[in-house]
Amino acid sequence: MKRYDLIVVGAGPAGLSAAVEAAKYGLKVVVFDENANPGGQLFKQVHKFFGSKEHKAKIRGFRIGSQLLEEANNLGVEVVLNATVAGLFQDKEITVRIKDSIQHYKGDAILVATGAAENMVPFKGWTLPGVIGAGAAQTMMNLHGVVPGQKILMLGSGNVGLVVSYQLLQAGCEVVALVDAAPKIGGYGVHAAKLARTGVPFYLSHTIIKAEGTDCVTGVTIAEVDKTWKTIPGTAKSLAVDTICLAVGLSPMAQLLKMAGCIMEDNPKKGGQVPVCNAYGETSLRGVFVAGDVSGVEEASSAMIEGRIAGIAAAEYLGYIDKAVLTEVAEALESALSSLRQGMFAVENRGKNIEKTDEGYVVSQHLLKKGYFQDAEVEKYPGVTRQPGVHAVIECSQNIPCNPCQDACPRHCIKIGDKITSLPVVDETANCSGCGMCVAACSGQAIFLVNEGYEAGYASITIPYEFLPLPGEGDRGWALDRGGSKVCAAEVVKVQTAPVFDHTSLLTIKVPVAMAMKARFFKEDNCHA
Amino acid sequence: MNSRIKEHPILGKIEKGRRVTFSHDGNIIEGFEGEPISAALKAAGVMVHRHTQKYGAPRGIFCAIGRCTDCVMVVDGKPNIRTCITPLAEGMIVETQYGVSAKSTNKAEGMA
Ligand SMILES: Cc1cc2nc3c(=O)[nH]c(=O)nc-3n(C[C@H](O)[C@H](O)[C@H](O)COP(=O)(O)OP(=O)(O)OC[C@H]3O[C@@H](n4cnc5c(N)ncnc54)[C@H](O)[C@@H]3O)c2cc1C
Ligand code: SF4
Ligand code: SF4
Ligand code: FES
């Protein structure tokens, strides 16, 4: 039987970060993952991540995964893929299924970082081919280059539902409806807004009555629900779709820990049954650690920090470092962790009705129900100013752990401050050059450049654009408002792409000046507009 | 209907193995070597992978990561192969699974 100092189960951000940290202190580490690709959830994510620079914000998910893997490889960590850990026993022995064989390994310490599994929700017809999990949609389109369908209904308005819907649009699918039984959008407003402006309709307080079709999905019936989640008679409507995508939450995959005899707790705020653990991620079994979504569903940024803490703690447990070193390093990491865990989407705020931001700005109910602001609401936020020349207009209105916009601006026009969840503020005294770095850096695609003095009677608007085909200069079409409705004809006057923008193109369109604070997306139409 | 993404705005051109042919319920279909069998079927417009034993209800791709077993088919005569995690190879014989076997290969089952 092979022996290691530390055995890590799961090569997601938590597991890889732990492996890297432990290897730095000299531990002999192996990582097993049942997937053919390392990186866990990250591998399927093509969007720019939230968080701060230290936690790889602004970098696209799949690149974070490969960076972590490279670090691990450089430190001599063994990463074994296509290897499912089937058993974990009290004496820190594990059984691993590789191809058709079962192998045994022993670790002096174990870290379980198995992440979370998707929840499902039954409705009439839910087993029909064409009903798929959101993760399956991502696997099909982002790993295998095959779209799951042409016309899609997404169920679930949390970040996963919103992000995957956007990825479906990028893959060339039509998202016919985004449906959620809750009365409010569960994910970040900025993620909802980038869907809404392309014209995706949101149906909050709606649920699926049934999937239609005999051999596969050919349509879906949805209906409105009241406060008690009962369907309201007479509200049913049929939509033609070929795919129903489910994004109804994640639950920690903690079976291995339960099997090993760790003390577990049911904690709805953490997404279900999780092992009880201390601040270093150590469970009730000495030397068995957890990190990432398996110990409570959160984000990749927190998973990476938890992983590092657990990796260092394992080094201390095995005597590679002193307790004092652990306390010192862990303290710094924990303070980073708690700064990420602030804001409206913090675990303790789940399910609460938050009406104002920390700064006292009123939260837009229209944003929470329809996915976009009403015109009059936008201008009160501190990122939205009216200035004579070109300047950034930041439509970011919630306290979320994110700040790449602040770091991006070479002229210091954008201020968030030390508290990462604060709203971005545009400093009117700073002098914006119109370079567009902020537009490309914003993970939420919530920053636009507006120049109301572009030309007599016309304003220019620069928008982030991540679709194909990319329009060219001189192309004509329609300017769409935040809700995706056509508001006026528009002409593309500039298209910028650059390696620093990392596949986000900047499209500058010209619109009548009265539309400067309305036009937020462009739809090409050279024949009519 | 083409379900293959030609070029992705972020990922660019998606790299694939060599083009191969395989058979699905007797029809010859093209796919790319090494991609999951299910991806090649999806690209060819095949939705139904199997019918359940009890009610004959159709099933297709659901999780795409080998967890749910909805996508199992008879591959080269072997039933219960999870097509979403089994790489495609030249000349594979893929058949819709009815219960636990292929209709065409198991006469006894068909008569029962
Ligand atoms: C659509 C979507 C968008 C997201 N966007 C963001 C974002 O913008 N910013 C952000 O910070 N976070 C984001 N997240 C969340 C983030 O991806 C997760 O929180 C993070 O990946 C959790 O990391 P983890 O290492 O705990 O688990 P995972 O990434 O889930 O990795 C767990 C790994 O363990 C493996 N595994 C499980 N069981 C076994 C076993 N028995 N044997 C072997 N291997 C096993 C799995 O194959 C997997 O590779 C997003 C998530 C999704 C789904
Ligand atoms: S366009 Fe450039 S200078 Fe202006 S706010 Fe954005 S990053 Fe700063
Ligand atoms: S504006 Fe800043 S804080 Fe808001 S989503 Fe964009 S990068 Fe993040
Ligand atoms: S689709 Fe779930 S196992 Fe293949």
Give pLDDT tens digits for B4-28: 999 999 999 888 889 999 999 999 9
% of chain B at pLDDT higher than 70: 91
Partner residue facing A135 (CB), from B1, B16, B63: B63
Q: What is the pTM of this model?
A: 0.95
C-alpha span between A163 and A223 (Å, rounded)? 24
Q: Determine whether the shortest distance from the Cβ of A114 to ligand 1 is under 6 A.
A: yes
Model confidence at B110, pLDDT cuts 50, 70, 90, reads: very low
Cis-peptide, bond into residue A469, ω within 30° of zero: yes
**B66 and A34 in contact by Cβ < 8 A?**
yes
pLDDT at A46 over 80: yes
The Cα-based distances of A463 to A74, A385, B67 in angstroms read 39, 17, 40
> Does pLDDT of B70 surpass 80?
yes
Q: Please tell me which residue of chain B has the smallest CA distance to A244.
A: B62
Which uninterrupted H or E stretch holds A405?
helix A404-408
Among chain B residues, the shortest Cα distance to A131 is held by: B62
Rounded Cα distance between A113 and A91, Å, is 18
Is B8 within 8 Å of A466 when comparing Cβ atoms?
Answer: no
Q: Which atom of ligand 4 is nearest to the CA of B68?
A: 2
Q: What residues are paired with A51 via a beta bridge?
A: A402
The pLDDT of residue B111 is: 38
The token pair that represents A273 in the structure block? 């049954």
For residue B39, give the nearest of A144, A170, A172 by CB distance.
Answer: A144
Assess whether the C-beta atom of B62 lies below 6 angstroms from ligand 4: yes
Q: For ligand 3, atom 8, name the residue with the nearest CA.
A: A402
Q: What mean pLDDT, rounded, does chain A reach?
A: 96
Sign of CA dihedral A372, A375, A381, A383: positive
Q: Are A152 and A132 in contact (CB under 8 A)?
A: no
Q: How many CB atoms lie within 10 A of CB A342?
A: 18
Sheet (strand A458-465) strand order? A391-394, A447-455, A458-465, A505-512, A486-496, A476-480, A521-524
**What is the ipTM metric for this complex?**
0.92
Considering only the C-alpha atoms of chain B, give the largest distance between any 2 of them, rounded to a whole number of Å: 52
Measured CA to CA, the distance from residue A367 to residue A87 in angstroms comes to 46
User: Ligand 2 centre from A515 Cα, in Å?
Assistant: 21
B2 pLDDT band, cuts 50/70/90, is confident
For residue A478, what pLDDT is reported?
98
How far is A263 from A393, CA to CA, in rounded Å? 50
Check pocket membership of A306 for ligand 1, CB cut-off 6 A.
no
Cα–Cα separations (whole angstroms), residue A431 to A390, A413, A509: 9, 7, 22
Classify residue A363 by its DSSP letter: P
Contact in structure between B35 and B87 (CB atoms under 8 Å): yes
Tell me: the pLDDT tens digits for A481-505?
A: 999 999 999 999 999 999 999 999 9
Distance, CA of A2 to CA of A106 (rounded, Å): 6
Best probe residue, ligand 3, of A59, A190, A191, A361 (max atoms within 8 Å of C-beta): A190
Q: Which of A426, A450, A424, A425 is nearest to A436 (CA)?
A: A450
Percent of chain A at pLDDT exceeding 70: 100
Q: With an 8 Å Cβ cutoff, are A129 and B59 in contact? A: yes
Please tell me the distance from the alpha carbon of residue A18 to that of residue A347, in angstroms, as a whole number. 23
What is the mean predicted confidence (pLDDT) over A301-325? Answer: 97
Task: Using the predicted structure, report yes or no on whether residue B79 has a pLDDT greater than 70.
Answer: yes
Residue A45 phi/psi, 5-degree rounding, is: -95, 120
Name the strand (E) or helix (H) holding A422. Answer: none
Q: Is B44 on the interface with A (CB under 8 A)?
A: no
Number of separate helices (H) and strands (E) present in chain B = 2, 9
What is the nearest CA distance from A145 to chain B, expressed in angstroms? 5
Classify each residue of B32-68 as buried b or exposed e, where b means 16 or more C-beta atoms within 10 Å of its C-beta: beebbbbbbbbbbebbbbbbeeeeeebbbbbbbbbbb
Smallest CA-to-CA distance from A313 within A289, A293, A338, A336 is with A289
Closest CA to A488 of A465, A461, A449: A461
Range in A302-306, A360-364, B2-6 the model is least confident about: B2-6
- Residue B107 is predicted with a pLDDT of 42
Confidence band, pLDDT 50/70/90 cuts, at residue A206: very high
Evaluate if residue B112 carries a pLDDT over 70.
Answer: no
Tokens, residue A102 = 């079962």
A193 has pLDDT over 70:
yes
Q: Using one digit for the tens of pLDDT, what is the confidence trace for A103-137?
A: 999 999 999 999 999 999 999 999 999 999 999 99
Give strand pairing partners of A290. A112
- Its sign, for the CA torsion A511, A517, A521, A525, is negative
Provide the pLDDT for residue A37.
87
Q: Is B69 on the interface with A (CB under 8 A)?
A: no
Going by the DSSP 8-state scheme, the letter that residue A526 receives in this structure is T
Q: Phi and psi (nearest 5°) for A281?
A: 85, 10
Q: Taking residues A247-259, what's their average pLDDT?
A: 96
Q: Which residue of A has its CA nearest to B50?
A: A129
Q: Do A130 and B47 make contact, defined as CB atoms within 8 angstroms?
A: yes
Q: Give pLDDT, residue B104.
A: 54
d(CA A297, CA A493): 44
Work out the average pLDDT over A138-156: 97
The answer to whether B10 faces chain A, any CB pair under 8 Å, is yes
Secondary structure E strands in A263-346 = 264-267, 272-275, 288-290
Contact yes or no for A293/A14 (Cβ under 8 A):
yes
Least CB-CB distance to A215: which of B14, B58, B65?
B58
**Mean per-residue pLDDT, A141-164:** 97
Share of chain B above pLDDT 90, in %: 84
Other CB atoms within 10 Å distance of the CB of residue A59: 19
Quick one: tokens of A473? 């200069």
Q: What is the DSSP letter of B8?
A: B
| Whether residue A59 has pLDDT greater than 50 | yes
Report chain B's terminal Cα–Cα distance, integer Å.
38
Residue A262 CA, distance from chain mean position = 30
pLDDT value at residue B50: 97
**Where is average pLDDT lowest: A193-197, A234-238, A300-304?**
A300-304
Q: Which of A139, A194, A253 to mutate to test the interface with B (most CBs of B within 10 A)?
A: A139
| N residues, chain B | 112
- Looking at the CA of B64, name the nearest ligand: 4
